[in-house]
Amino acid sequence: MRKTSILFVAGIVIVLALGFLLPWTVRNPFYFFVGYVVLQYVTIATGWNILGGYAGYINFGAAGFFGAGVYLSAFLFTTFGLPLPLCILAAAVFGAVLGLLMGYLTLRIQGVYFAIATLGLVVVLETIVHNISALGGASGMAVYGPKPPAWSPGPSQYNFTIMLVIAVAAVSLARFVEISWIGRGLRAVRASEDAAECSGVPTLRLKLLACALSGAVLAAAGAPYPFYTSFVEPVTAFSLIIGLNAIAMPLIGGTKSWVGPVLGALLLASVQQIATVTISSELNILFVGLVLIAFVAFAPGGLSDLFGRRQGRAKS
Amino acid sequence: MISIDILLNAVVTGILLGSVYASLALGLAITFGILHIPNIAHPTLVVAGAFFVYTLSQWGLDPILAALIGLVPFYILGVALYIFYSRVFERRGGANVLQSLTLFFGLSLVIEILLALGFGSELKSVSVSYIGSSLKLGLLTIPYRLLIPALLGPVMIGAVWLYLSRTNSGTAIRAVAHEERALSIAGLNPASVKRHAFGIATATAVVAGAALIMVGPVEPFAGRFQIGRVFAIVVLAGMGSIPGSLAIAIIIGIAEALVSSYLNPSWSPGVAFAILLLGLALRPQGLFGAAR
Amino acid sequence: MKTRREFHKLAAATAVALAVPAIVGSKVFAQDKPIRVGASVSLTGPLASTKNGLIGYELWRDDVNAAGGLLGRKVELVTYDDQSSAANVPAIYSKLVDVDACDVLFSPYGANLSAPVMPFIKQRDLFMIGMFGLAGNDVAKHDKFFHSGPWGPNSGRDWARGFFDLAKAQGVKKIAIINADLEFSKNAAKGGAEVAKEYGMEIVFNQSYPPNTTDFSSMIRNINAGDPEAIFIASYPADSTAIIRGVKEIGISDKVKIFGGAMVGPQYGALLSSLGPELNGLVNSHTFVPEPTMQTPAIKGFFDRYTPIAVKQGVDPLGYYIPPFYYVAGQLAAAAITGSKSVDPAKMAAFLHANSVDTIAGKIAFNEIGDWKERRVLMVQLRGIKGNDLEQFRNPGHQVILDPPSLKTGDLAGPYNKARAS
């Protein structure tokens, strides 16, 4: 366990260093626009997986948390002029609170009912945001972002680096949860909640913790979004494709560990970005739909499971 | 400003719309409520049914007639869907929640895009002679556009409920989710019972689709707005209670109409979900149904 | 639905067909690299009904290239599908500028999709023509942005002022305002409310409704309870249909003199055809109608070429609302380039600020933030519609221009119930 942790930390340091240096070496800003979106999805997929993959509670309402993060960040920045890092922290805290709330409301229900209830969350949140005039409602809110600091050559590169930091933090958190007692408990809950309860695992507390952590990461993924698009409106902030990708990416990559969501996000988000600027058509959604069906039918453990089997490692 | 005629009309509109929602939810009440298969693609199947009715109406057929013609093709579609579903999960001896939900989710996306590619993403509507005029009963003004589709709901629900409670195959359907083994011992094939049930559920989608397109224009992605309501109805009614789903649907319809009239219409999309979340928190087994 | 590949084959064929005379006439393009014009179009998603604008861009590009290009260089159009989602816009416009090296940009459709691009073009100091984005430049105030649409100055508040001018002339004192809760309609209603107050009208009912509302019975009854003399509606195609049908089912008072305003939908062939005579009497906004004061051989020629392409693609065969202004956008860009003899944003912008341009939609002059100096949004009244045939709308008399006075072709026929029944 020690060795892999050292490797992991080393990997993170390298990735972060790259993130800060790349903007100065790669001149074309386009790659940072695309990179932002890919990293955003890495964060979303990782956050979703804490509850969905580790605990087995499928959250159809990832877009609700994402949108909440978007709007809180936009509101704090335009109203109070809070600096970006504080906005992100505030969004994460708000996401955690929202996650806890959702956890309490859906306490007693399992499985399918939970998934349906989470669907409702997005609609309720979107309706609320829509009706708060201070947030702009349907007309949306324009957000003119802060000037990037000296260590970043431009706004798109700045957003990219910020998103990279968030993604790295999210993945580190997911890995920590996975290898700690929390992860063990969640795996017990996923395997059989009743048995876990009988063995003394504090299932309720663990579920609430997972809800809170998942919500925090999802909201943090949305926090820099207003600065990326300079404009927020409810339809795109709470969009279906976010909730969809949040499920598809871990499914494709593998839900059992932190690697899966990263893999699935890198793959699917890159494909979608390429499709947007080359093919560009409704086929994007069709593609995701078919991919989902294919993976459920043939590779339910996701890609990381496929690779694992190929290497002949015994999976617990 | 509580004037009686606005209140009465709002309540009546709510009842009629609720009845339409009930016909949308019926198929899900069968597949999810009775068979415990979370067919999240059902609202999209209803939209597909609406487009089927639209296509036939372009050749001059009345929508209700078109729906009746559609019963057989959609039944076959339902059977095919169930066979696909069971083949996919047979290898693994049972489906877990994420997988079945995801499968049907993916399916609903594929159906929506196929509809969009085939018909374009614009709104399509049907025009029937009685759409546009209303029935006047004293203080009430009831548009036929709402009245006729609303009558389809109870008729279809009544028919299905009678079938499920009075016939042998209907009873088998009700039993299969609870006691699959007992069913096989009794000599029935659970798989064929489930296939049959899925077929019936999908057949109701075409009638619900006809109701939907009579009430207003429909576009390929319209299913998304109905998912919440439809699940709310099935879950709140208590799984497996068909008459219960009609009652809950009407309650939701009235709630939405009242919120729209007296508060602000902007809040009405959240009504069904708010009721669902509250209901789940307070009484998870639903108001009418059998205990899970 | 036709794929983009098929469409491009058609466009290429058209381009070749138009280019043959040019080649035969021994016009040779300069060996410089082509002038690139970049844009995103909503080919898919909720705004996909605006994709017929692309035909306007393509016809313009073909015409320009047939006449020898701009500054002797060929014009190339680079477009991507933004899927009607604001989230896709930043990456697309970065690609257009940073990878495809476009010299001129056209915005996405509407204010919601254009908003993400405004800080981008301001920061990078780029030249852009705005497509149907109401008040799009009012916050950024970029000096190299120009509207292709006839909104006029202070468009956020004033673009539908014509409706209220007509109401005022009829002595309307009480008005009801309803709107769909989406950006365009919400802003139209907000601006309308300000103008109504300015004219001393009492707003007896003001409500917004969620976008997928299908039943307006309660709302219409509430409106009737307020006893208004005019009803201003800002809606989208689905709700426009439902409202007009709902009014027919429930009925409104004879006191209502003027009904309509900012309903999106009745400008499109699809709704004109499906609602037909139910639209009689409606007073609604528009950007172009074939009335004597607007019809010219140039714009008629545009529609003669537009219609066969549109029919083939399965989009609106009339195309009055959006496509001509996409052609106008091209004409504005062309005028800026040839007038300043460069593709330098500052020089192009300076030219457009200093000169008026002749386009198929008339002569256009701009103010400092790129609005048309004169508002030319039309308020038309639909009249004499019989049956569901679309061809009747190609003739004058069915969409009578009531406002602005410079383009007027008729007077308001009221009250609404009477105009509806005719």
| Touching partners of C (3+ C-beta pairs < 8 Å) | A, B
- Alpha-carbon Rg for chain B, nearest whole angstrom, is 19
Q: Are A94 and A219 in contact (CB under 8 A)?
A: yes
Contact at CB, C1 and B117, closer than 8 angstroms: yes
pLDDT value at residue A277: 55
Is the domain of C146 the same as that of C274? no
Tell whether the model's pLDDT for residue C39 goes beyond 90.
yes
The rounded distance, in Å, linking the Cα atoms of B270 and A119 is 11
Residues A218, A220, A224, A226, Cα dihedral to 10°: 60
pLDDT for the residue numbered A311? 57
Residues in chain C: 422
ipTM over 0.90: no
In which band, very low, low, confident or very high, does the pLDDT at C19 lie, cut at 50, 70 and 90?
very low
CB C4 within 8 A of CB C79: no
3-class SS of residue A250:
helix
Residues of chain B with a CB closer than 8 angstroms to some CB in chain C:
1, 3, 5-6, 9-10, 13, 17, 116-118, 120-123, 125, 127, 131-134, 141, 143, 145-146, 215-217, 219, 222, 225, 257, 260-261, 264-266, 268-269
- The answer to whether residues C276 and C300 belong to one domain is no
Kindly write down the DSSP assignment for every residue of C66-106, as one continuous string: HTT-BTTB-EEEEEEE-TT-GGGHHHHHHIIIIIS--SEEE
Taking a C-beta distance cutoff of 8 angstroms, is the pair A129, A234 a contact? yes
Residue of B nearest to C2 (CA): B117
Tell me whether residue C226 is in a domain: yes
CA-to-CA separations, B134 to A242, B137, C166, C209, in angstroms, rounded? 43, 10, 32, 23
In this structure, what are the phi and psi dihedrals at residue B65, rounded to the nearest 5 degrees? -65, -40
- In chain A, whose CA is at the least distance from the CA of C187? A139
Contact B235 A251 (CB under 8 A): no
Read off φ and ψ for residue A154, nearest 5 degrees: -170, 170
| Calpha distance B72→B77 (Å, rounded) | 9
- Which residues in chain A have Cβ-Cβ distances shorter than 8 Å to B38? 112, 115-116
Domain with C317 in it: 4-150+295-364
Instruction: Check whether residue C195 and residue C313 sit in a common domain.
Output: no
- Give me the DSSP letters along C96-137: IIIIS--SEEEEEEHHHHHTTHHHHHHHHT--EEEES-TTTT
Across A82-86, A241-245, C266-270, least confident range: A241-245
CB contact under 8 A, A273 and C85: no
Q: Is residue B288 part of a domain?
A: no
**Lowest-pLDDT range of A95-104, B240-249, C5-14, C405-414:** C5-14
| Same domain as C279, residue C249 | yes
Is residue C369, in this structure, part of any structural domain at all? no
Domain ranges, residue B130: 4-282
Cβ within 8 Å of residue B282, ≥6 positions away: none
Contacts of B125 in chain C (CB under 8 A): 241, 274
Closest CB from A127, A255, A293 relative to B106:
A293
| Alpha carbon distance A67, A129 (integer Å) | 9
**Does C91 contact chain A (CB < 8 Å)?**
yes
Q: Do B97 and A58 touch (CB under 8 A)?
A: yes
- Put simply, the answer to whether B235 touches A123 (Cβ < 8 Å) is no
Q: How many CA atoms lie within 13 A of B179 on its CB side?
A: 10
The residues with which C406 forms a beta bridge, in sequence order, are: none
Residue C284, classed as helix, strand or coil, is strand
pLDDT at A70: 94
Does the residue C374 lie in any domain?
no
- Cα A203 vs. chain centroid, distance in angstroms? 23
Q: Is residue B14 a contact partner of residue B221, using CB atoms and an 8 Å limit? A: no
- Among the partner-chain residues A58, A106, A240, the one whose CB lies closest to the CB of B280 is A106
Tell me the average pLDDT of chain C: 87
In a domain, B67, yes or no: yes
**Of C44, C215, C237, which has the smallest distance from its Cβ to B17's Cβ?**
C215
- H-run or E-run covering C253: none
Angle value at C-alpha C124, between C123 and C127, nearest 5 degrees: 110
Q: Quick one: which H or E segment has residue C292? A: none
Share of chain C above pLDDT 70, in %: 92
Within a domain: B62: yes
Mean pLDDT of C211-216: 79
Run means of pLDDT, 10 residues per run, chain B, 292 residues: 76 91 91 84 94 91 90 94 84 65 84 85 77 78 86 90 85 78 78 89 94 87 80 78 86 87 74 77 59 38
Cα–Cα distance for residue pair A205/B81, rounded to 1 Å: 39
CATH number at residue C268: 3.40.50.2300
Residue A261 has pLDDT above 80, yes or no: yes
**φ and ψ at C399, to 5 degrees?**
-130, 80
Between CA B133 and CA A191 the distance in angstroms is 58
The answer to whether residues B201 and B245 touch, using CB atoms and an 8 Å cutoff, is: no
Q: Find the CATH number of the domain harbouring B91.
A: 1.10.3470
Instruction: Check residue C26 and give its pLDDT.
Output: 34
- Do C245 and B145 lie within an 8 Å CB cutoff? yes
User: Min CA distance, A37 vs chain C (Å)?
Assistant: 9
Give Rg (Cα) of chain A.
19
Provide the pLDDT for residue C18.
Answer: 38
Please write down the HEC assignment for all residues of chain B. Answer: CCCHHHHHHHHHHHHHHHHHHHHHHHHHHHHHHHCCCCCCCHHHHHHHHHHHHHHHHHCCCCHHHHHHHHHHHHHHHHHHHHHHHHHHHHCCCCCCHHHHHHHHHHHHHHHHHHHHHHHCCCCECCCCCCCCCEEEECCEEEEHHHHHHHHHHHHHHHHHHHHHHHCHHHHHHHHHCCCHHHHHHCCCCHHHHHHHHHHHHHHHHHHHHHHHHHHCCECHHHHHHHHHHHHHHHHHHCCCCHHHHHHHHHHHHHHHHHHHHHCCHHHHHHHHHHHHHHHHHHCCCCCCCCCC
Give the per-residue pLDDT at B18: 92
Question: What distance in Å separates residue A78's CA from the closest CA in chain C?
Answer: 14
The predicted pLDDT at position B145 comes to 84
Of the listed ranges A101-110, C94-103, C367-376, the one predicted with least confidence: A101-110
Domain ranges of chain A: 2-241
Q: Do A58 and B105 touch (CB under 8 A)?
A: no
Dihedral angle of Cα C190, C196, C198, C204, to the nearest 10 degrees:
-100
Chain B: residue whose CA lies nearest to C46: B121
Q: Does residue C74 carry a pLDDT above 90? A: yes
C186 with C306, same domain: the answer is no
Q: Worst-scoring range by mean pLDDT, B182-186, C163-167, C374-378, C385-389?
A: B182-186
Residues of B in contact with A285 (CB under 8 A): 109, 112-113
- Average pLDDT on C122-145 reads 90
Which helix (H) or strand (E) segment holds residue C352: the answer is helix C345-354
Q: Which residues of chain A make contact with B269, given a CB cutoff of 8 A?
A: 123, 127
Q: Is the Cβ–Cβ distance between B27 and B201 less than 8 Å?
A: yes
Considering only CB atoms, which residues of chain A are within 8 Å of chain B? 52, 56, 58, 60, 105-109, 111-113, 115-117, 119-121, 123-124, 127-128, 130-131, 240, 244, 247-248, 251, 255, 282-283, 285-286, 288-293, 296-297, 300
Q: Of the candidates B36, B98, B228, which has its C-beta nearest A123's C-beta?
A: B228
Q: Amino acid identity, residue C97? A: V
Contacts with A130 from chain C: Cβ below 8 Å: 181, 210
- The answer to whether A120 contacts B277, with C-beta atoms less than 8 Å apart, is yes
Measured CA to CA, the distance from residue B264 to residue C207 in angstroms comes to 7
**Cis peptide leading into residue C404 (ω within 30°):** yes
C92 touches chain A (CB under 8 A): yes
Q: Are strands C174-180 and C357-359 parallel, antiparallel or unpaired?
A: unpaired
The number of distinct structural domains making up chain B is 1
CB contact under 8 A, C94 and A239: no
For C240-290, list the strands marked E by DSSP: 258-263, 283-286
Q: Tell me how many degrees the CA angle B237-B263-A94 measures, rounded to the nearest 5.
A: 75
Who has greater pLDDT, B68 or A235? Answer: B68
Alpha carbon distances (Å) from B57 to B54, C98, C277? 5, 50, 20
Strand, coil or helix: what is C391?
helix
Say yes or no for a CB contact (<8 Å) between A292 and B102: yes
Is C115 near chain A, with CB under 8 Å? yes
Q: Is 90 exceeded by the pLDDT of residue A233?
A: no
Q: Pick from B229, B161, B213, B261: which is nearest to C219 by CA? A: B261
Exposure letters A81-114 (e unless 16+ CB within 10 A, then b): ebebeebbebbbbbbbebbbebbebbeebbbbbb
Contact of C85 with chain A, judged by CB distance below 8 Å, is answered with yes
Residue-wise over C376-390: b if at least 16 C-beta within 10 A, else e?
Answer: bbbbbbbbebeeeee
Count of Cβ atoms closer than 10 Å to residue B88 Cβ? 18
Mean pLDDT of C151-174: 91
Nearest to B13 among C1, C217, C314 (CB): C217
How deeply is A192 buried, as exposed, middle or buried, from its count of CB atoms within 10 A (0-12, 13-18, 19+)?
A: exposed
Q: Are residues C314 and C398 in the same domain?
A: no
Residues of chain A whose beta carbon is less than 8 angstroms from a beta carbon of chain C are: 28-30, 33-34, 37, 127, 130, 137-140, 142, 144-145, 155-156, 225, 228-231, 233, 236, 239, 241, 273, 276-277, 279-282, 284
- pLDDT at residue B228, rounded to an integer: 75
Q: Pick C182 or C164 by higher pLDDT.
A: C164
Amino acid in position A305: D
The token pair at C324 is: 């001509």
**Which pLDDT score, from 0 to 100, does residue C21 have?**
38
In this model, does residue A23 exceed pLDDT 90? no
Q: What is the pTM of this model?
A: 0.82
pLDDT single digits (tens) C258-298: 999 999 989 988 888 888 898 999 999 999 999 999 999 99
Token pair listed for C236: 């989208």
- Confidence category of residue C11, pLDDT binned at 50, 70, 90: very low
| Count of structural domains, chain C | 2
Q: Is there a contact between B266 and A289 if contact means CB atoms under 8 Å apart? A: no
DSSP 3-state assignment of C180?
strand
